[in-house]
Amino acid sequence: MNSMTLNKYQLIIMADDKQVVLERILQVTRYRGFLINGINAEVNTGNNVATITMSVSSERPISLLIDQINKLIDIKGVKVDNSEVQIKQHSA
């Protein structure tokens, strides 16, 4: 029996609607140690922005995943639960 305690999180990811952006998010999520419990993705064809809602669970802090998703080039921002959108940061 697995005694590991998993914390569950709901992420809302805003991304440019580019090639394989969904695959990139899935790859990073798996590699960084998060299980995907559910996912929904929609594209606003007006501004070509994709909104991906993803339920994940892990024993690791969610900040680790947010930082890694934010590093993906096509990501505009990541929001956790009802907290503020964590704006993507780049160097000058």
Partner 1 sequence: MTESKTLTGGALLFEVLQEHGVHHVFGYPGGAIMPIYDALYDSDVKHFLCRHEQGAAFSAVGYARAAGTVGVCLATSGPGATNLITGLADALADSIPVVAITGQVPTAAMGSDAFQEIDIFGLSLACTKHSFQVTDINELEKVLHQAFEIALEGRHGPVLVDIPKDVQLAEVTQRLDKLSHLKNKVKLPLADISKALDLLTHAKQPILYVGGGVGMANAVEEVRDFAEKTGMPSVSTLKGLGAINPDNENHLGMLGMHGTKAANLAVQESDLLVVVGARFDDRVTGKLDEFAPNAKVIHFDIDTAEINKRREADAAILGDLKGNLPLLTTELDIADWQQKLKQMNIDCAWRYDHPGDNIFAPAVLKTVSDLMPSNTCVTTDVGQHQMWSAQHMTFDDPSNFLTSGGMGTMGFGLPAAIGAQISRPHDTVIAVSGDGSIMMNVQELATIKRYQIPVKVVLIDNAKLGMVRQWQDLFFDGRLSETDLSDNPDFVMLATAFDIKSKLITKKSEVKAAVEEMLDHDGPYLLQVKIDAAENVWPLVPPNTANDKMMESV
Q: Which residues bind partner 1 (CB under 8 A)?
A: 16, 19-20, 23-24, 27, 31, 63-64, 67-68, 70-73, 76, 87-92
Comparing CB distances to partner 1, the nearer of 4 and 92 is 92
Residue 33 Cβ vs partner 1, minimum distance, rounded to whole Å = 12
Nearest-angstrom CA–CA distance, 5 and 2: 9
Q: What is the DSSP string of 9-68?
A: EEEEEEEE--TTHHHHHHHHHHHTT-EEEEEEEEEETTTTEEEEEEEEEESS-HHHHHHH
Comparing CB distances to partner 1, the nearer of 20 and 43 is 20
Comparing CB distances to partner 1, the nearer of 1 and 46 is 46
User: Which residue shows structure tokens 């947010």?
Assistant: 66
Residue 43 Cβ vs partner 1, minimum distance, rounded to whole Å = 17
